[in-house]
Structure 1
Amino acid sequence: MQIYNYKFLLEKILKTSDEKLHAVLEGIEYAYEETEIPKKNGIRVIHMLRKTPEGRNLTNFQRNLVRRFLQKIPIAIPAKGFVTGESYQNFLMPHAGNHYFLRIDIKDFFDSFSEKLMKSNLKEFIQDREALETVFELCTLNAKLPQGAVTSPILSNIFFRRIDQRILKYCQSIEERYRKENTRSEKQGIRRISYTRYADDMLFSSDFFDFGEHIYFLRMLSKILKENGFEINRSKTMMCKGEIGLNGYVVGDGLRLSRRKLQSVKETLYFFRKQDQELYEVDMRKAEDLKESLKKLNEMRRENNKEAREFRSRQDFIHYLAGCRAWMISVLQTEQLLKKDSKRLEKTIQRLEELLKAVEKEEG
């Protein structure tokens, strides 16, 4: 898909007039608002599109760009996040059956895309300078990718395409070198290095290559990322053998749910359960005095697991419950579970929803 001139962008992609487009461009800074999202070690500030005339108009233009242009641009095979037909499970599954694992988190992913990187990638698909500048303005805020923009997820994959391909080729070069060095071996096996990426989460695995022993691999990845303006979040780097746990899943011989995370959810539900009831019912006294309840819950969780996440506020707790519910629903929708396991998961989801409702009610 190519945009050859400004008129084509205006009439065929955005479906608007020059006057309306310029009105939207002039009001871009008023189309966003800052929102704080709780995370494990504090908060993340992101820019979300407002539900105002400025925000709605920009949203419509961004949606047109996605539907009529950006979705038609090819992305690299390793990219699994923000891709139609792909899921978090698709990000993990290619690594099932491998023995060595390396997980890398990219620090400040969306904020790290430079203007130079973004425009050089857009140039491949937009021939006209005015059209390119217009698309860039519609999709950025202060020359950065705003995390709450409609276009940012798909653009992140487009802009990261060359990096994905370079990393993939690097993995293939190691496979090829190993095959040449071991041509006489009768027990070579498959000998692969698998690579997938879900937004800022990069996962590597191998049946022969020990990432811990060959530290030059991580150094090369760091070099490739640094050359493009990205930095590895060292505190989140994981090297594992046999299996690796990520966001409620365990990857090893196959892909399964994390028993630890399931147990953590059940402990939380039990803590808020009204004890004199046969069927599950939320203890509203604990929901009403949530500050004190979370203090006691945090103490209990620390006793069971010193590295357990602490809930710092009502909003943080709501975010956790909603995330657990979304995780379990996605498992029900995408995994082939035994009937008894599905029933248990459905019951847990129902209880999560009851607790969420009680906590959100007290917030209001």
Structure 2
Amino acid sequence: MPQGAPTSPYLSNLVMKNFDDYIGEYCEKKNISYTRYSDDLTFSGNMDVQALKSKVQSFLDVMGFSLNEEKAKILRRNTKQIITGVVINEKINSSKNYRKKIRQEMYYIQKYGLDGHNIYTNQNIMFSSLMGKVRYCLFLDSTNKEFKTYEKRLKSMI
């Protein structure tokens, strides 16, 4: 399946529908939270990990797929839990490194101005990219005062 194509999520959902129904029902009976984003499966709760892994693998085998052991992880409560680039431990948030890069861009824009910091060939592309990153952080944590300030500053530059 072509990665990044507009049809990829639809095709993934179509292919995985039976799996989602089967595993979703199993997880509901076992009081396990199950989510899937494309081919990233996430299970949360108290569970027999080996039994769940066996159940998942057996159904994937029937479908002609296999579990990627290198990507499979068991994350405990006291470890940083990142799912599809989002930190999900106590509260959902973007990673510290992601926010640090935005802070750095905002610093250089404030210091040198939008034109002086323009690393893109088109100022609109740079502005849209940075505004999108700021709004993504606010989507994950709408109470973040620092990023609300960044959004206001960027809007004032339009």
Counterpart in 1 of 2:93? 256
Counterpart in 1 of 2:52? 217
Q: 1:194 aligns with which of 20, 33, 38?
A: 33
Partner Cα separation in structure 1 for residue 151 and residue 53 of structure 2: 38
Q: Tell me the SS of whatever aligns to 1:202.
A: strand
Aligned pairs for 1:308-323 within 5 A: none
Q: Tell me the SS of whatever aligns to 1:204.
A: strand
Amino acid at match of 2:21: Q
Aligned pairs for 1:6-21 within 5 A: none
Shift of 1:259: 1.7
Shift of 1:230: 1.6
Partner Cα separation in structure 1 for residue 7 and residue 95 of structure 2: 33
Indicate how the Cα distance of structure 1 residues 331 and 346 shifts in structure 2: closer, same or farther if over 3 A, else same. farther
Instruction: Verify: 1:336 aligned to 2:116, yes or no.
Output: no
Contact 1:248 1:261 in 2 (8 A): no
Instruction: Compute the TM-score of the two structures, normalised by the length of structure 2.
Output: 0.66
Counterpart in 1 of 2:70? 235
Amino acid at match of 2:22: R
Instruction: Give the aligned length.
Output: 145
Larger Rg: 1
Q: Over the residues paired in the alignment, what is the CA RMSD in angstroms?
A: 3.7
Bigger relative contact order (CA 8 A; separation at least 6): 1
Shift of 1:280: 4.2
Which residues of structure 1 form unaligned runs of 5+? 1-109, 111-145, 176-191, 289-317, 351-364
Q: Tell me the SS of whatever aligns to 2:111.
A: coil
Which residues of structure 2 form unaligned runs of 5+? none
Indicate how the Cα distance of structure 1 residues 172 and 251 shifts in structure 2: closer, same or farther if over 3 A, else same. same
Q: Which moved more, 1:194-203 or 1:226-235?
A: 226-235
Q: Tell me the SS of whatever aligns to 2:14.
A: helix
Instruction: Compute the TM-score of the two structures, normalised by the length of structure 1.
Output: 0.33
Indicate how the Cα distance of structure 1 residues 234 and 326 shifts in structure 2: closer, same or farther if over 3 A, else same. farther
Shift of 1:248: 4.0
Indicate how the Cα distance of structure 1 residues 205 and 345 shifts in structure 2: closer, same or farther if over 3 A, else same. farther
Contact 2:137 2:147 in 1 (8 A): no
Aligned pairs for 1:129-278 within 5 A: 151-173=7-29, 175=30, 192-206=31-45, 208-209=46-47, 214-242=49-77, 243-267=80-104, 269=105, 273=108, 278=111
